[in-house]
Amino acid sequence: MKNTKLILILLMLTGAMYGCSSHEAKGEETAKPKAAQQAPERSKKESQQNTASIDTADWIKVNGPARIPILMYHSISSGNSLRVPEAEFRGHMKWLKDNGYYTLTPEEAYIVLTQDKMPSEKCVLITFDDGYTDNFEKAYPILKDYEMKATIFMIGKSVGRKNHLTERQMKEMAEHGIAIESHTINHVELNGLAPEQQLSEMTRSKTLFDGMLKQNTIMLSYPVGHYNAETLKQAEKAGYQMAVTTEPGAAARDQGMYALHRVRISPGMSPDAFGRMVEHSRQ
């Protein structure tokens, strides 16, 4: 009889322990959607921490709103209007170096645009869309030669695919002043998608690069430059701090931090012509 009672007590204790474990597991599952909803808020706080870590004590205060040329490249090769040959790209970078231009990181650009102070009187943000292999093989060595920073907007699904950057290449560049930011996950025109589809394109890409590169991805480039009013809302909701379009001209916050303009760089542009365009866009 005593043995029977002992067995019953053991069974009851085991059931209680199992019940607690099951309850905790269910609690974790229900917490996941809540955590996902809070991700943009965490990203915003992380972004603020990233910018707060930049020493701006010696930066120049300017009359706002500050304006900066965000230069837009794609492939460093030959063949169409989106491809700038390697020799021309080198000439452009040399012109920037010779004329005292400071190349910004995305975090530095955010401070310039929101706080109206700059690390130099002459600043640019160099960007590349799509993440082609030649960004690593041709542009990256030139940028290193001139000690310049740049930003590559990478398509999430294209990582490791033919003619596109690999994870290893992106990690190497990220360690040497080349930021990897988002060009969405599938590179589809956002203005043709429903709001929840737009958000998915943006959040999946951000999640990918946040994890892959151990970073807080703060900047987005809209595929083909196409967007609508809903896109601007979803970009902020996804946790980005700013986004760029293909609208021509220098960037300034009065355009909206999720609709920043860029200066398109086309093939056939000599260093002098490039320089005139950059200088004009600052005015």
Those residues with Cβ within 8 angstroms of residue 257's Cβ, 6 or more apart along the chain or in another chain:
113, 114, 241, 242, 243
What's the pLDDT tens digit per position in 182-214?
A: 999 999 999 999 999 999 999 999 999 999 999
Q: pLDDT band for position 21 (50/70/90)?
A: very low
Which residues, in sequence order, are bridge partners of residue 244? 221, 260
- 50-98: pLDDT as tens digits: 677 899 999 999 998 999 999 999 999 999 999 999 999 999 999 999 9
CA distance 167 to 160: 7
Asked whether 65 and 253 are in contact (CB, 8 A), the reply is: yes
Residue 18 pLDDT level (bands cut at 50, 70, 90): very low
pLDDT of residue 31 exceeding 60, the answer is no
Residue 30, pLDDT above cutoff 50: no
Tokens 């590349």 correspond to 128
Q: What is the pLDDT of residue 40?
A: 52
What pTM value is reported for the model? 0.84
Q: Which is higher by pLDDT, 241 or 23?
A: 241
Q: Name the band, by pLDDT with cuts 50, 70 and 90, for residue 124.
A: very high
pLDDT of residue 64: 82
Looking at residue 241, the DSSP 8-state letter turns out to be S
- For tokens 């993440």, name the residue: 131
249 three-state secondary structure: coil
Q: Where along the chain do its domains lie?
A: 67-278
Q: What is the pLDDT of residue 44?
A: 53
What is the model's pLDDT at position 41? 52
Longest Cα separation, the chain? 100
Residue 71 is which amino acid?
L
Residues 113-142: what's their mean pLDDT?
A: 98
String of DSSP letters for 173-193: HHTTTEEEEE--SS---GGGS
The two three-digit tokens of residue 222, written as one number: 């809209």
Distances (CA, A) of 118 to 53, 67, 102, 108, 124: 15, 10, 10, 8, 11
In sequence order, the β-bridge partners of residue 124 are 103
Q: Is 148 helix (H, G, I), strand (E, B) or coil?
A: coil
Query: What is the third-level CATH fold of 67-278?
Result: TIM Barrel (3.20.20)
Chain-wide mean pLDDT for the chain?
87
Residues above pLDDT 90, as percent of the chain: 81
For residues 128-157, average pLDDT? 98
109: left (phi over 0), alpha (psi -120 to 50) or beta: alpha
